[in-house]
Amino acid sequence: MLLLLRRLKHNSFMNTSFRKYAAYAVGELLLVVVGILIALQIDNWNDDRKERAMLDSYLESIARNIREDLGELRPLREHRLEARHAAAMFDLLRTKDRFDVNEIYFLNHVRELSTREIFFNANTSGFEALKNSGVLNRLQGSGIEHLLSRYYDTVKQVGSLENSLYDVVRPISLEMSRERPPGLEEYAFSNPGALSPARFEELQPVFTQFVKSPITLALAESQSANQMLMLHYDSLQILGRSFISAIEAGLLDRPESMPRTPFDDWSENLGLPNIVAEGQPSLEAYILFGITPLDGPRRFRFDSIQLKGDEVHIDYPGGADWAAIYWMVGNVATAGRPYLDFTAFSKLHLELKGNSGGEVINVHVKDTEYPDDRAPISVDLLLSNEWQTYEIDLAEFAPNDFSRLHVVLGFGIVPAEDPLAFSVRNARYH
């Protein structure tokens, strides 16, 4: 009996120890597993931190690249604007048969502007490094990714448009060189003031042939491509500034709404609000031109509409029954006269100044169906010799259809026998 009791006691002791040992072993195993998991978590956190730091570095590098790009865009845009404006003013000379020295200087200026090849060279080093880094996937679905994609897609479109422009211009320029009359002085166009009065008079038929030549007209018309380039430059400015602001604010993970660009509005046939902004006419969307009665001599000169710093200066020389300066929609793929939709706006704000004060001009618009032989619906403004701001309710231009606006802003001069000069600093729809 005693032996049996001892065995039972031994078995009980062994079972209790085993349980304790088993619990200890399991505890140790759990500690090891937890330790490994913690170590892995720390390692992953370190890797994540390193990747995040790497991503931040790439994005800051891209932001620096884009700042450089935006600085480069400004002189490019100024050149496109000047070339497009000069090409439009060239049309004012095409009905003439005689030219003065200043007109020949201007013709050479048009040729130089139109044939000078300049390109936007975006700095893509940061973006290329990011694509090859393996951390680009961390931006997937974010606003930053969308901004980057849109920005660099637009950069590619700019390159394609610039190449297309000069693919057209180069053969025209070559043909102009071939058509140069033998014996013509090298400087006859570039420095006509150096010609003797007799020689300048002798060259009048050559100047006329140059102005009326189809190849010269083709060169001027080629500059309409600057319209799309300026729209894309302006879109790059908006996309680039949005990206830089997001990086500076640390908005890397939160999806942000894509900023709307001028090209978005243009492609959807919506009117762009700025007609003139700080003296810069919006020739990326509209055509600036001057007209006088079509059945008489043109009174406007090539220099009647000048871009002077922060103003568009309009100098009408007089001598007609009526005259008008206007901006109209240009190069929209619509049937008939092109138009844009301005129904989102209710006001027209103008900042104007007369040369002497007391000038009266009538402001008008025209929809695409408005008859050319009918006087436009207009609002008369009395100008001062100081800058003044005017606000016009668009309802005053009824019954024009603002969903199909063709002439987006016009300044009429009636009567127009006497000279009149005034300036526009800002013209904007609100």
Residue 52, domain member (yes or no): yes
Give backbone dihedrals phi and psi of 414, rounded to 5 degrees, phi first: -145, 120
Q: Which tokens belong to 60?
A: 């800051």
One-letter amino acid at 51 equals E
Same domain, residue pair 251 and 374: no
Residue 11 lies in a domain: no
CA dist 76 to 90, 120, 265, 272, 305, Å? 21, 7, 22, 21, 21
Q: Determine, yes or no, domain membership for 222.
A: yes
Same domain, 152 and 242: yes
Domain span at 50: 18-268
Amino acid at 196: S
Cβ–Cβ under 8 Å, residues 229 and 159: no
What pLDDT score was predicted for residue 95? 81
What pLDDT was estimated at residue 54?
Answer: 81
In angstroms, the CA 165 to CA 167 distance is 5
Helix (H) or strand (E) holding 198: helix 197-202
- Residue 80 CA to residue 84 CA, distance in Å, equals 6
* Confidence (pLDDT) at 332: 47
Q: Using CA atoms, how far apart are residues 111 and 93, in angstroms rounded to an integer?
A: 14
DSSP conformation class of 98: -
Q: How many residues are given for the chain? A: 430
- Which string of DSSP letters, residue by residue, matches 363-423? EEEEETTS-TTSPPPEEEEE--SS-EEEEEEGGGGTT--GGGEEEEEEEEESSBSS-EEEE
The answer to whether residue 197 is domain-embedded is yes
Q: Are residues 229 and 293 in the same domain?
A: no
pLDDT value, residue 367 = 96
- For residues 237 and 348, membership in a common domain is answered with no
307 and 240 co-located in one domain: no
CA dist 276 and 24 (Å) reads 83
Note whether 185 and 245 are same-domain residues: yes
Q: What angle, rounded to 10 degrees, do the helices at 2-90 and 101-115 form? A: 160
260 in the same domain as 155: yes
pTM of the model: 0.84
**Matching residue, tokens 């939709």:** 341
Structure tokens at 193: 């003031």
Q: Print pLDDT tens along the chain (430 aa).
A: 555 555 555 565 555 555 565 555 666 667 666 666 665 555 545 545 666 778 888 889 999 999 999 999 999 999 999 999 999 999 888 888 899 999 999 999 999 999 999 999 999 999 999 888 877 777 777 788 889 999 999 999 999 999 999 999 999 999 998 888 888 898 999 999 999 999 999 999 999 999 999 999 999 999 999 999 999 999 999 999 999 998 888 766 554 567 899 999 999 999 999 999 999 998 888 988 888 875 556 678 899 999 998 999 999 999 888 899 999 998 644 557 899 999 999 999 999 999 999 999 999 999 999 998 888 999 999 999 999 999 999 999 999 999 999 999 999 999 889 999 999 999 999 9
What's 329's domain CATH number? 2.60.120.430
**Can the peptide bond before residue 171 be classed as cis, meaning omega within 30 degrees of 0?**
no
What pLDDT score does 255 carry? Answer: 47
In three-state form (DSSP H/G/I as H, E/B as E, the rest C), the secondary structure along 89-117 is HHHHHCCCCCCCHHHHHHHHHHHHHHHCC
Find, among 108, 76, 111, 106, the residue nearest to 89 by Cα. Answer: 106
Q: How many independent structural domains does the chain possess?
A: 2
Query: By the 8 A CB rule, do 322 and 413 touch?
Result: yes
Quote the pLDDT of residue 200.
96
Q: Residues 305, 189: one domain?
A: no
Token pair 């931006």 in the structure block, residue: 139
Angle at 374 between CA 368 and CA 380, to 5 degrees: 95
Q: Which residues pair with 363 in a beta bridge?
A: 379, 411
- By C-alpha distance, which of 208, 205, 280, 267 is closest to 235? 267
The reported pLDDT for the residue numbered 329 is 93
Alpha carbon 6 to its chain centroid, in Å, reads 100
DSSP element (H, E) containing 363:
strand 360-367
Of residues 72, 225, 108, the one with CA closest to residue 162:
225
Q: Is 231 helix (H, G, I), strand (E, B) or coil?
A: helix
The verdict on 174 and 244 lying in the same domain is yes
State the pLDDT at residue 182: 82
Instruction: Report the distance separating Cα 277 and Cα 421, nearest Å.
Output: 19
**pLDDT given for residue 27 in this prediction:** 65
Yes or no: say if 221 and 122 are a contact pair by the CB < 8 Å rule. no
pLDDT at 297 (0 to 100): 60
Residue 417 and residue 368 share a domain: yes
Is residue 4 situated within a structural domain?
no
